[in-house]
Amino acid sequence: MRSSFAQFGLLLGALFSTAVYAQDGNTTTNTDYEVISAPALSSDEIEREVLIEIASNGQQLVAVGAHGNVIRQDESGSWIQANVDSSVLITSVDFASEEKGWATGHHGVILTTEDGGQTWTRQLDGFQLMELEKAFYQKKVATLQERLETEEDKEVISELEWQLEEMQFQISNIEVAEEEGPSKPFLDILAVDEQTAFAIGAYGTFLKTSDGGANWQVISDKLENPGGYHLNAIIARNSDFFIVGEAGLLFSSENSGEDWTRLESPYRGSLFGAHLDNANNLWVYGLRGNAYVSEDKGQSFEQIETGTRVNLSAGVATDSGEQLIVGHSGTILKVDAALNVELLRHPSGSVMTDIVVVNDGEWLMTGRSGLLHWPAKVTEEEALASQQGAQ
């Protein structure tokens, strides 16, 4: 089954309300691509703008979100808006070192920083992505045609013809996109070191750089994903890499992303996030409050009784061995070593998309309402008044 624009709309709708993506959520008819090269919009309330992900460069926290907004925390704890040469919705951020990092966004944008997150410049955009993917699939077509000319086994011929049809279908999609403009968003980035990074996104998009981002290589064929389902999150520790995605997609690599194996998924619905805990157990979670943990690198899973039906977006392990998982409606799951779940709720009731541990018992989250703190720095009444004022 091939992914469609409608399916991607469902993905966005599942993660956030449509209002969050009003900037560039129309992936089929929007032909205004000035957001790709237009500088990020400045704001007097950078901490309250929509923020999608937060990461540390080893010295500072950096959060990214709507309209090219990237904010970093200075030594005093204040948040400063970074200089960004794009105003697309930024979906992810990761650092390879204190200075070098990458971020991804809508319209096929990949950004990089060489100064710890103060300044971000584009390394790739959707127009360049289309060129890369078209060349990739054209090369595949040429190889398949050469094999068909000499192959005599009927079963092999049938398989090659199916693959050829699929590659030609992908080229046709790109040719349509060339007329309408780039629409593919990247959804996550993994910075391995200052030279190596992996970017994943909609419709099975999978890229790698081995030279600091000077060149990006399409490696979508490394994943068994014939339906072209969306890839939502990529994580790693040492040489163990994992990807989760739409329709329960789950992949693992034991050699730092060189080769990938599709794992049997514990859930057929979309998985939005994953993390590794202090014991290297794999946690995955997604639609309708579904969450699972694996002690054997994804070979088997145990379901977590979350006590909620809201979508779950991201998680992190604490130094004390607890797991924190955030999602819609201000939901925070606190899971202990015995897999007992304490269901917490942030008074904002906001969609939350990422979480980091700041200190013992103190967490920072991103989401539709910007930066959120735990313990909360806002009452439910104040949050409601703020939401009504924004309307």
Q: Per mean pLDDT, which range of 7-11, 92-96, 144-148 is the poorest?
A: 7-11
Q: Provide the mean pLDDT of the chain.
A: 89
Same domain, 3 and 41: yes
Count the domains in the chain. 2
Same domain, 48 and 115: yes
Same domain, 17 and 72: yes
- Domain for residue 14, yes or no? yes
Q: What is the pLDDT of residue 317?
A: 98
Q: What is the pLDDT of residue 180?
A: 82
User: In the predicted model, is pLDDT for residue 18 greater than 50?
Assistant: no
Same domain, 89 and 135: no
- Domain for residue 305, yes or no? no
Q: How does residue 2 score in pLDDT terms, banded at 50, 70 and 90?
A: very low
- Domain for residue 49, yes or no? yes
Q: What is the pLDDT of residue 108?
A: 97
Q: What is the pLDDT of residues 51-73, one digit of tens each?
A: 999 999 999 999 999 999 999 99
Q: How does residue 380 score in pLDDT terms, banded at 50, 70 and 90?
A: low
Same domain, 67 and 189: yes
User: In the predicted model, is pLDDT for residue 379 greater than 70?
Assistant: no
- Domain for residue 38, yes or no? yes
The range of the structural domain enclosing residue 176 comes to: 130-180
User: In the predicted model, is pLDDT for residue 6 greater than 50?
Assistant: no
Same domain, 46 and 162: no
Q: How does residue 181 score in pLDDT terms, banded at 50, 70 and 90?
A: confident
Same domain, 61 and 146: no
Q: From 138, 153, 180, give the residue that closes a domain.
A: 180
- Domain for residue 143, yes or no? yes
Q: How does residue 80 score in pLDDT terms, banded at 50, 70 and 90?
A: very high
Q: For residues 353-367, give the mean pLDDT.
A: 95
Question: Could you check whether the bond before residue 375 is cis, i.e. omega within 30 degrees of 0?
Answer: yes
- Domain for residue 159, yes or no? yes
Give the separation between CA 226 and CA 357, rounded to whole angstroms: 37
- Domain for residue 384, yes or no? no
Same domain, 19 and 77: yes
Same domain, 25 and 105: yes
Same domain, 111 and 149: no
Same domain, 56 and 189: yes
Q: What is the pLDDT of residue 386?
A: 52
Same domain, 7 and 32: yes
Percentage of the chain lying above the pLDDT 90 cut: 77
User: In the predicted model, is pLDDT for residue 85 greater than 60?
Assistant: yes
Q: What is the pLDDT of residues 263-308, one digit of tens each?
A: 999 999 999 999 999 999 999 999 999 999 999 999 999 999 999 9
